[in-house]
Amino acid sequence: MTGRVVVAGLGPGADALVTPEVTEALAEATDVVGYGPYVARVVERAGLALHASDNRVELDRACHALALAAAGRRVAVVSSGDPGVFAMAAALFEALEAGPAAWRGLDIRVLPGITAMLAAAARAGAPLGHDFCAINLSDNLKPWATIEKRLRLAAEADFAMAFYNPRSRARPEGFSRALSVLRDTCEPARVVIFARAVSTPDEALRVVPLAEAAPEMADMRTVVLVGSSLTRVVERPGAAPWVYTPRSVPA
Amino acid sequence: MTGRVVVAGLGPGADALVTPEVTEALAEATDVVGYGPYVARVVERAGLALHASDNRVELDRACHALALAAAGRRVAVVSSGDPGVFAMAAALFEALEAGPAAWRGLDIRVLPGITAMLAAAARAGAPLGHDFCAINLSDNLKPWATIEKRLRLAAEADFAMAFYNPRSRARPEGFSRALSVLRDTCEPARVVIFARAVSTPDEALRVVPLAEAAPEMADMRTVVLVGSSLTRVVERPGAAPWVYTPRSVPA
C-alpha cells in the first residue's frame, strides 16, 4: 500500500457543507488525525483508526500524520472549515519542511472546505462582497503589535474584515483591544457581525454598530465580520437585517 | 407555491467541490439564473427553466431573479466559487435594497461555495495559512487609485494576498500596474502563484518569484496569490514546490 496524506476541510459544521471530495477521502482513509472535536465528526467504521489530539499540538499532529503516511497508511488530517485558513495545512507543511527528506516524496493533497467567514457571510448576506481581509486575532504565535498594525492598515485600506479566534478564556483581553483599535479608526456606525457556530444547532447571528459591539459578544466559536465604510444594512420584516458590501467604490 | 431565491456557489469547477446543500437546492429549483458559463454547469431537466445572461449585467440578473421569486418561482442564482466573494450575492442585495419593498419579505438564502482562492491555495500548499486579503483587480466598478492604495497598504501590513480578475482583454494594463506596485513594496524573491482554472481539465499552476512574474501569466480564469514576507517554498521531487505561510510571526 502506498501511503498518503489528505488535509481535509470539514466545513463549519453541517454535513450539507462537506464537499463530496472530502467525503470520499474520508471513506478511503485508514487513519484520521486531528483535534478531538473535529475527529469526533468523522463516522467510525471497522478498519479506521481515529487519532484525536488536544488543541495547540498542531506540529506533533502533523508529524504523526506524515510518519503514518511514510509507513504506508492513508491518512486524513481533519480541520474544521478550510484547512488552509488558520488550520492544519500550514502546520503540515511546516512539519514537512523540518522533517526527513523522504517525506517530500509523499503523496499529499489539501482538500478545501467552506471556511467559517464565508459561511458566516452567507448567513448575513454579502458583507465580504468586496475587497476584504482575514486576520487571526490570537496572539499565541505572533506579537500583539503585529495584529494591531494589521488592524490599523486594514481600516485605512477600507477592507471589510473577518476575525478568526477573536477571544478565548486564555486571552480575554485581545478582542477588547481589537475593538479599541477599530473605534480609533472607524466610524461608530460601522457594521459588526458576530456569527457563532454557523450551520450547527448552536448557530447565532448578531448585527450591531461598532459603538454597541462588546467583547462578550464573541467567544472561540465566533467569527467576527466588520464591514467596510460602504457596507449597507437592509432591514427586513421578522428577521435580522441583511448586510452587504456593494461591488462599487465611488470615485 | 411560495417563491424563494437561493444564491448558490458552484465552486471552482469540479463537481466534487459542489456542496450537497447546493446540489439539493438546484434539484428543488424551478428556475436557474446566471452568467451563461455557470448556468451551463447545471444539469437540465424537465420543469427547470434556465435563464443564461451575459457578463456585466449582474443587477439586471438579480432583479430578474427577485421578480421571479416574487411571482412564486423557486429560483437559484448561480455563481462560480462562493457567491459572496466578488460574485452575485452583493448584486442581489443591491437589487433588493433598490427594489419594491415587498421583495424584502422574500425567502432568500445564500449558499456558500469553495471560492477560487481557497481552491488555488489548496493546490499550492497553504500560501494563505496566515493573515491575508482578497482584492478584485478589476477597475470596472472602482477607481484604480483605490486598488493601488489597497495593494500598498496590504504589502505594508504583510498580508498574503489573493487577486481576483487580474486581467482581461478589456483591461490589459491593470495587472501590469499591480505588479509594479508589488515590485515597489516587496522583495524580488516574494512568492507569486498563478493558478488557472483549478479543478477543471484546464488547470495549471505556476510558482515564480516576483522578479519573474509577468502580466501574460494571468488571464480571466486565473487567480493570483502572493505570499507574505514569511512565505516558504518547499521543493519536492517531480512536482511543483509546496508553498506555505507559517502560522507564526517572530517578535
Cβ-Cβ contacts under 8 Å, B117 against chain A: none
Which residues, given as ranges, of chain A have pLDDT below 50? none
SS3 annotation, A59-81: HHHHHHHHHHHHCCCEEEEEECE
pLDDT above 80 (res B1): no
User: Rounded distance, CA B142 to CA A159, Å?
Assistant: 13
Q: B153 and A150 in contact by Cβ < 8 A?
A: no
Cβ-Cβ contacts under 8 Å, B96 against chain A: 234, 242
Mean pLDDT of chain B: 96
Model confidence at B172, in pLDDT bands (50, 70, 90)?
confident
Which residues are CB-contacts of B122 (< 8 A; sequence separation ≥ 6)?
A82, A83, A84, A89, A109, A110, A111, A112
Give B97 to chain A, closest Cα distance, Å.
6
Model confidence at B169, in pLDDT bands (50, 70, 90)?
confident
Give B6 to chain A, closest Cα distance, Å.
11
Q: A119 and B97 in contact by Cβ < 8 A?
A: no
pLDDT in tens, A101-110: 999 999 999 9
* Residue pair B204/B219 in contact by the 8 Å Cβ criterion: no
What Rg value do the Cα atoms of chain B yield, rounded? 20
Which residues are CB-contacts of B59 (< 8 A; sequence separation ≥ 6)?
B91, B94, B95
Q: B90 and A244 in contact by Cβ < 8 A?
A: yes
> Is residue B202 classed exposed, middle or buried when 0-12, 13-18 and 19+ CB atoms within 10 A define those classes?
exposed
Q: Which of A19, A83, A104 sits opposite B16 (nearest CB)?
A: A19
* Residue pair A207/A224 in contact by the 8 Å Cβ criterion: no
User: Rounded distance, CA A8 to CA A18, Å?
Assistant: 10
Cβ-Cβ contacts under 8 Å, A84 against chain B: 118, 121-122, 126-129
pLDDT above 60 (res B187): yes
CA-CA-CA-CA torsion for B143, B145, B147, B153, nearest 10 degrees? -150
Cβ-Cβ contacts under 8 Å, A248 against chain B: 141-142
pLDDT at B251: 87
pLDDT at A95: 98
Half-sphere exposure of B235 (CA within 13 A, CB side): 1
Q: A112 and B96 in contact by Cβ < 8 A?
A: no
ipTM attached to this prediction:
0.97
Q: Which of A104, A110, A158 sits opposite B237 (nearest CB)?
A: A104
* Residue pair A3/A74 in contact by the 8 Å Cβ criterion: yes
User: Rounded distance, CA B82 to CA B88, Å?
Assistant: 9
Q: B237 and A19 in contact by Cβ < 8 A?
A: no
Give A93 to chain B, closest Cα distance, Å.
7
Q: B84 and A126 in contact by Cβ < 8 A?
A: yes
Cβ-Cβ contacts under 8 Å, A130 against chain B: 86, 90, 136
Best mutation site among A150, A163, A233 for testing chain B: the one with the most B CBs within 10 Å? A150
SS3 annotation, B161-182: EEEECCCECCECCHHHHHHHHH
Q: A111 and B126 in contact by Cβ < 8 A?
A: no
Best mutation site among B106, B131, B151, B164 for testing chain A: the one with the most A CBs within 10 Å? B131
Cβ-Cβ contacts under 8 Å, B57 against chain A: none
User: Rounded distance, CA B138 to CA B144, Å?
Assistant: 8
CB burial string A208-225: b at 16+ within 10 A, e below = eebeebebebbeebbbbb
What Rg value do the Cα atoms of chain A yield, rounded? 20
Chain A, chain B: beta-carbon pairs less than 8 Å apart: 231
**Domains (range + CATH), chain B:** 4-114 (3.40.1010.10), 117-244 (3.30.950.10)
* Residue pair B69/A220 in contact by the 8 Å Cβ criterion: no
Cβ-Cβ contacts under 8 Å, B251 against chain A: 143
pLDDT in tens, B138-152: 999 999 999 999 999
pLDDT at B55: 84
Cell numbers at A121, concatenated: 457571510
pLDDT at B2: 81
Amino acid (one-letter) located at B121: A
Nearest Cα neighbor of A213 from A243, A183, A174, A245 is: A183
Average pLDDT over every residue of B73-80: 98
Residue at grid coordinates 472549515: A81
Which residues are CB-contacts of B55 (< 8 A; sequence separation ≥ 6)?
B35
Cβ-Cβ contacts under 8 Å, B125 against chain A: 89, 93, 110
Reduce the DSSP state of residue B16 to 3 states and report it. helix
